[in-house]
Amino acid sequence: MEFDDNMMLPLIISAGENINEYTISSGGHHHHPKYPKHPKHPRHPKFPGPKRAFAYFPSPPDITKGVVVFWETSKNNTLVYGQFSKGFVEGEEDNYSFKVYKGDQELVDLKPKDDDLDRILKINPNGSTDLFLFVFNDTLISGVGILDTDLVISTSDSLIGKDRIKPLTCW
Protein backbone atom coordinates (compact mmCIF):
# COMPACT_ATOMS: atom_id res chain seq x y z
CA MET A 1 0.00 0.00 0.00
CA GLU A 2 1.34 3.41 -0.87
CA PHE A 3 0.85 6.32 1.44
CA ASP A 4 0.93 9.93 0.54
CA ASP A 5 3.16 12.09 2.74
CA ASN A 6 0.21 14.17 3.83
CA MET A 7 -2.07 11.24 4.70
CA MET A 8 -2.85 10.37 8.25
CA LEU A 9 -1.60 6.85 8.93
CA PRO A 10 -3.44 4.50 11.25
CA LEU A 11 -1.83 3.50 14.50
CA ILE A 12 -1.12 -0.22 14.38
CA ILE A 13 -0.24 -2.19 17.48
CA SER A 14 0.90 -5.71 16.93
CA ALA A 15 2.05 -8.39 19.28
CA GLY A 16 5.01 -10.54 18.59
CA GLU A 17 5.50 -14.13 19.62
CA ASN A 18 6.87 -12.98 22.91
CA ILE A 19 4.11 -11.40 24.92
CA ASN A 20 6.33 -8.60 26.17
CA GLU A 21 7.20 -7.38 22.66
CA TYR A 22 4.87 -4.79 21.33
CA THR A 23 5.63 -2.58 18.37
CA ILE A 24 3.86 0.62 17.57
CA SER A 25 3.84 1.67 13.96
CA SER A 26 2.89 5.19 13.22
CA GLY A 27 4.26 5.25 9.74
CA GLY A 28 7.43 7.01 10.75
CA HIS A 29 7.89 10.56 11.89
CA HIS A 30 6.46 12.96 9.34
CA HIS A 31 7.75 16.47 9.06
CA HIS A 32 5.59 19.07 7.51
CA PRO A 33 7.47 20.92 4.81
CA LYS A 34 8.69 24.35 5.82
CA TYR A 35 7.07 26.85 3.59
CA PRO A 36 8.87 30.13 3.07
CA LYS A 37 7.32 32.98 4.97
CA HIS A 38 5.20 35.31 2.96
CA PRO A 39 7.40 38.23 1.91
CA LYS A 40 6.63 41.60 3.37
CA HIS A 41 4.50 43.85 1.28
CA PRO A 42 6.84 45.98 -0.81
CA ARG A 43 6.99 49.65 -0.01
CA HIS A 44 6.22 51.77 -2.96
CA PRO A 45 8.42 54.77 -3.50
CA LYS A 46 6.79 58.11 -3.03
CA PHE A 47 5.19 59.40 -6.13
CA PRO A 48 7.41 61.93 -7.81
CA GLY A 49 6.28 65.50 -7.69
CA PRO A 50 4.03 66.53 -10.53
CA LYS A 51 5.79 67.47 -13.73
CA ARG A 52 2.74 69.27 -15.09
CA ALA A 53 0.96 72.36 -13.86
CA PHE A 54 -1.68 74.79 -15.08
CA ALA A 55 -3.14 78.20 -14.45
CA TYR A 56 -6.81 78.69 -15.29
CA PHE A 57 -8.12 82.19 -15.88
CA PRO A 58 -11.91 82.29 -15.48
CA SER A 59 -13.85 85.32 -16.54
CA PRO A 60 -14.92 87.07 -14.31
CA PRO A 61 -12.99 88.04 -12.20
CA ASP A 62 -10.18 88.10 -14.79
CA ILE A 63 -10.39 90.12 -17.98
CA THR A 64 -8.83 87.19 -19.82
CA LYS A 65 -10.41 83.78 -20.15
CA GLY A 66 -8.20 80.81 -20.86
CA VAL A 67 -5.55 78.43 -19.59
CA VAL A 68 -1.76 78.11 -19.56
CA VAL A 69 -0.17 74.67 -19.09
CA PHE A 70 3.40 73.93 -18.00
CA TRP A 71 4.90 70.53 -18.89
CA GLU A 72 8.44 69.56 -17.85
CA THR A 73 10.38 67.35 -20.23
CA SER A 74 13.14 64.85 -19.55
CA LYS A 75 15.57 67.26 -21.24
CA ASN A 76 15.24 69.80 -18.39
CA ASN A 77 13.01 72.12 -20.39
CA THR A 78 9.47 73.24 -19.76
CA LEU A 79 6.89 73.41 -22.51
CA VAL A 80 4.54 76.33 -21.95
CA TYR A 81 1.35 76.30 -23.96
CA GLY A 82 -2.13 77.67 -23.75
CA GLN A 83 -4.96 79.56 -25.35
CA PHE A 84 -7.29 82.40 -24.42
CA SER A 85 -10.81 83.06 -25.68
CA LYS A 86 -10.93 86.75 -24.74
CA GLY A 87 -9.15 89.64 -23.05
CA PHE A 88 -6.39 90.63 -25.48
CA VAL A 89 -6.07 93.48 -28.01
CA GLU A 90 -4.94 92.63 -31.53
CA GLY A 91 -1.70 94.29 -32.63
CA GLU A 92 -0.37 94.82 -29.10
CA GLU A 93 1.31 91.43 -28.64
CA ASP A 94 4.60 92.93 -27.45
CA ASN A 95 2.88 94.98 -24.71
CA TYR A 96 1.88 91.90 -22.68
CA SER A 97 3.97 90.27 -19.98
CA PHE A 98 3.62 86.80 -18.46
CA LYS A 99 5.36 86.65 -15.08
CA VAL A 100 5.33 84.23 -12.16
CA TYR A 101 5.19 85.76 -8.68
CA LYS A 102 5.51 84.28 -5.21
CA GLY A 103 3.88 86.87 -2.99
CA ASP A 104 5.30 90.17 -4.27
CA GLN A 105 8.59 88.66 -5.48
CA GLU A 106 9.01 87.93 -9.19
CA LEU A 107 10.26 84.37 -9.73
CA VAL A 108 10.44 84.21 -13.50
CA ASP A 109 9.52 86.23 -16.56
CA LEU A 110 8.16 83.97 -19.29
CA LYS A 111 8.68 86.57 -21.99
CA PRO A 112 11.35 85.45 -24.48
CA LYS A 113 14.82 86.94 -24.10
CA ASP A 114 14.55 88.88 -27.36
CA ASP A 115 11.16 90.34 -26.26
CA ASP A 116 9.48 89.11 -29.43
CA LEU A 117 6.23 87.91 -27.89
CA ASP A 118 4.48 88.52 -31.20
CA ARG A 119 6.32 85.49 -32.64
CA ILE A 120 4.58 83.29 -30.06
CA LEU A 121 1.32 85.03 -29.17
CA LYS A 122 -1.07 85.56 -32.09
CA ILE A 123 -4.05 87.71 -31.07
CA ASN A 124 -7.22 87.52 -33.16
CA PRO A 125 -9.59 90.46 -33.87
CA ASN A 126 -12.13 89.17 -31.30
CA GLY A 127 -9.55 89.31 -28.44
CA SER A 128 -8.84 85.58 -28.39
CA THR A 129 -5.47 83.99 -29.05
CA ASP A 130 -4.42 81.10 -31.20
CA LEU A 131 -2.93 78.14 -29.39
CA PHE A 132 0.59 79.16 -28.39
CA LEU A 133 3.54 76.96 -27.51
CA PHE A 134 7.12 77.74 -26.58
CA VAL A 135 9.99 76.06 -24.76
CA PHE A 136 11.41 77.59 -21.60
CA ASN A 137 14.99 76.45 -20.98
CA ASP A 138 14.61 75.59 -17.30
CA THR A 139 12.65 73.21 -15.09
CA LEU A 140 9.97 75.59 -13.87
CA ILE A 141 8.05 73.06 -11.76
CA SER A 142 10.76 71.02 -10.03
CA GLY A 143 13.57 73.56 -10.33
CA VAL A 144 12.18 77.07 -9.96
CA GLY A 145 9.18 75.84 -7.97
CA ILE A 146 6.23 77.56 -9.62
CA LEU A 147 3.54 75.40 -7.98
CA ASP A 148 1.22 77.42 -5.73
CA THR A 149 2.53 80.70 -7.09
CA ASP A 150 0.70 83.25 -9.23
CA LEU A 151 0.87 83.65 -13.00
CA VAL A 152 0.27 87.32 -13.75
CA ILE A 153 -0.65 88.60 -17.20
CA SER A 154 -0.40 92.35 -17.56
CA THR A 155 0.37 95.27 -19.80
CA SER A 156 2.46 98.24 -18.83
CA ASP A 157 -0.58 99.97 -17.33
CA SER A 158 -3.10 97.24 -16.34
CA LEU A 159 -3.52 93.81 -14.83
CA ILE A 160 -5.25 91.44 -17.26
CA GLY A 161 -5.27 88.24 -15.21
CA LYS A 162 -3.78 86.72 -12.07
CA ASP A 163 -4.31 83.12 -11.05
CA ARG A 164 -2.70 80.37 -9.00
CA ILE A 165 -0.52 77.74 -10.71
CA LYS A 166 -1.77 74.32 -9.60
CA PRO A 167 -0.49 70.79 -10.18
CA LEU A 168 -2.05 69.04 -13.16
CA THR A 169 -2.76 65.44 -12.20
CA CYS A 170 -4.61 62.64 -13.92
CA TRP A 171 -6.23 61.06 -10.85
32-39: long-range contacts, CB 8 A cutoff, minimum separation 24: none
Is the pLDDT at 11 greater than 60? The verdict is: no
Domains belonging to the chain, first-starting first, are 52-167 (2.60.40.200)
pLDDT grade for 169, boundaries at 50, 70 and 90:
confident
How many helices (H) and strands (E) the chain has is answered by 0, 10
Q: What is the largest CA-CA distance in the chain?
A: 121
**pLDDT bracket for residue 9 (50, 70, 90):** low
Band (pLDDT 50/70/90 cuts) for residue 12 is: low
| Model confidence pLDDT, tens digit, residues 92-125 | 888 888 999 999 999 999 887 776 777 788 999 9
pLDDT, position 152: 94
Tell me, what's the pLDDT at 149?
95
CB burial of residue 21 (10 Å; 0-12, 13-18, 19+): exposed
Confidence of residue 48 (pLDDT cuts 50, 70, 90): low
pLDDT digits (tens, 9 = 90+) for 17-45: 655 555 555 555 556 666 677 778 888 77
